[in-house]
Every structure is written in structure tokens, then in C-alpha cells.
Structure 1
Amino acid sequence: MNQLEQLEHQLQEKGVKYEIIKHEGPIKTAQEGAAFLGIEIGQTAPALVLRAGNEYFAMIVSGDRGRVNLADAAALLGHDSLKMASPKQVLQLTGYEVGSVSLMLPLPCILDRRLFRYPFIYGGTGEPGSTLKISPQALEQLNEVVAYLD
């Protein structure tokens, strides 16, 4: 079973509504995703992997947020600082390449409240040729949310 099949199996087990949208190759930016999918940039939901010492966290943000303030995110988690995990660490922790990280992750998660403005959001499936369409509420159920970004 490949990563996409595993994701679909997990989504079906959880009973959430979703859609997998296929496309040629990776979508590299929120702007590119919004243009390709015909959606607002805020509906794109990049998944980032962050590190605080030996602890790792996922952060799923709205594509219209721009740069994320890691100091604010660290404060939410009670840490002094957060850094982006390296591509090698991301692959080791999640099994996904940077740029294709799935919206369903085995890490404590920070979720951007801005995503809840939309009925559906769009993000990674773990494989570069597809995008997951899902409600923010379903995303919240699927991940271990430990904090919310305002």
C-alpha cells in the first residue's frame, strides 16, 4: 500500500468526507495551489514540521498567513524557540518529502484558526501528484491538536 492509499484508508476508517484531487507533479506554493485549484489562497493549508530541542510538532497554516512567527508559536507551546525541521528530519519523522507533507500527521499539531473561515481546505497527501480537500473540522479530528494559531 503506497502513502496515498494509506491516507485514504485512514480517512475512510475515521469516516470523514474528503476528496483527493490528482494533478501533474507537485504544487510548490500556496499561490500556485490557489490558481490551479481555483480557490482563495487562504484555503491552501501547508503543513510544516517544527522542532523545539528534541520535540517535534506539525503546524498547519492558512496559505494567506505569509511568514509564520515561530516565536509566537513557541510561546503557545511553552517553549523558548521553534525552528523548522530539516528536510531529512521531516522525511524521517513523517515519511514525506518537504512540499508533499500530508495534512494527517503523527505529531502534536498547531492548527491555524484562519482555516476555519472556509468549508474546505486543501493540502498535502504525502505524494506530490495529489491534493487533499477536507473540512477544517475533519482535519481537527484527525490530528492531535495541542494549540491554535490566532
Structure 2
Amino acid sequence: MDDDLIHLLEEHQINYEIIDHNEPIRSAQEGAAFFGIEIGQTAPTLILKSGTTMYAFIMSGDYGKIDFDVIKQLLQCEELKLAKPLEVEEATGYSVGSVPLIGHGLPTIIDRRLHRYPYVYGGTGAVTSTLKIGPQDIEKLNHIIAYDR
């Protein structure tokens, strides 16, 4: 677990919970089952790449398949794809599947549908812990450049 993440949350007086678990949670379905929540309350952070620019995309777990054309239009870019695992690590310092909801330092696109819930659950930077946080606080602690849906 990253001390910088805790510091950021405390510094901004965010209401949050860090939930530790023994096994990594590898999918939105696993997360929803483990926490007893709706799949839409899970909030994976995906890293997208356009040329040499990287973006974080925080989406609701019930999002489905990413429509890259919609995101390209939001970002006004010609090409966009998921970053490769090594690129994710180089850009964020975290491995795929554990990129934190906050503190990754990338310009961020957020799925508005996360606001259906008072709290969502996502990465902390460690595979065996999850951050429970309000969607409005995710927005407050990231550099939001676009909204999807």
C-alpha cells in the first residue's frame, strides 16, 4: 500500500476506507461478489495511450466494451488504445490491475455513471487492497479532462 495515497486522502480530508483482502481481485465481477456490491460500483482504472500521451480512464464496472471512437472524440485524438502492461508501469509506477483511483498523475477521463453510487471501489496501487471512496472525491483528486456517458 502506497503511503502517498494515504497522505493525499488525509491531506484533502477525504472520507475513505482501505479494505485489505488476501487475494487479488481480478475483475469487476470478482470485486462485486467479494464486497457484496453492484458491479457498477466497481471502478477499474484503465490506462489508455494516444501516441506518446497516456490517460487514465476510470469507469464503472458495468461499462461493457470500451467504445474507443467515443473516447477519441472526447479527447480529440486520432488514435487510442489500451496501454501495454510495461507502458502502464512506466507511466504510473503500478502494474495493470492495481493502478490506483487517485495519485497516478495522469490526465483522467471519468465515467459519469459512477455517480449513481455514494461510494465506489477501486485500486490502491496494491493488489491486495481496495479503496472505497466517493466518486466526487475521485474527481477532486484527479486532473479530469473529460467525462464519458
Does the TM-score normalized on the shorter chain lie above 0.5?
Answer: yes
**Could you say which residue in structure 2 is the equivalent of 1:115?**
114
- Residue of 21, 24, 37 corresponding to 1:23: 21
Q: Distance in 2 between matches of 1:40 and 1:143?
A: 24
The residue identity in structure 2 corresponding to 1:38 is: G
- Residue of 69, 72, 81 corresponding to 2:70: 72
**Could you say which residue in structure 2 is the equivalent of 1:142?**
141
**1:71 deviation in Å?**
1.4
Q: TM-score, normalised by structure 1?
A: 0.96
Q: Please, what is the CA RMSD of the aligned residues? A: 0.8
**1:81 deviation in Å?**
2.1
Residue correspondences, number: 148
Unaligned 5+ runs, structure 1? none
The 3-state SS of whatever aligns with 1:67 is coil
Summarize deviations over 1:25-83 as a string: whole Å, max 9, x none.
21000000000000000000000000101111100000001111111101101001211
The residue identity in structure 1 corresponding to 2:39 is: I
- Residue of 100, 103, 128 corresponding to 1:102: 100
Q: Distance in 2 between matches of 1:56 and 1:100?
A: 16
Q: TM-score, normalised by structure 2?
A: 0.97
**Could you say which residue in structure 2 is the equivalent of 1:12?**
10
Q: Distance in 2 between matches of 1:21 and 1:130?
A: 5
Runs of 4+ displaced beyond 3 Å: none
The 3-state SS of whatever aligns with 1:132 is strand
Summarize deviations over 1:80-132 as a string: whole Å, max 9, x none.
12111110010111111101110012000000000000000000000001000
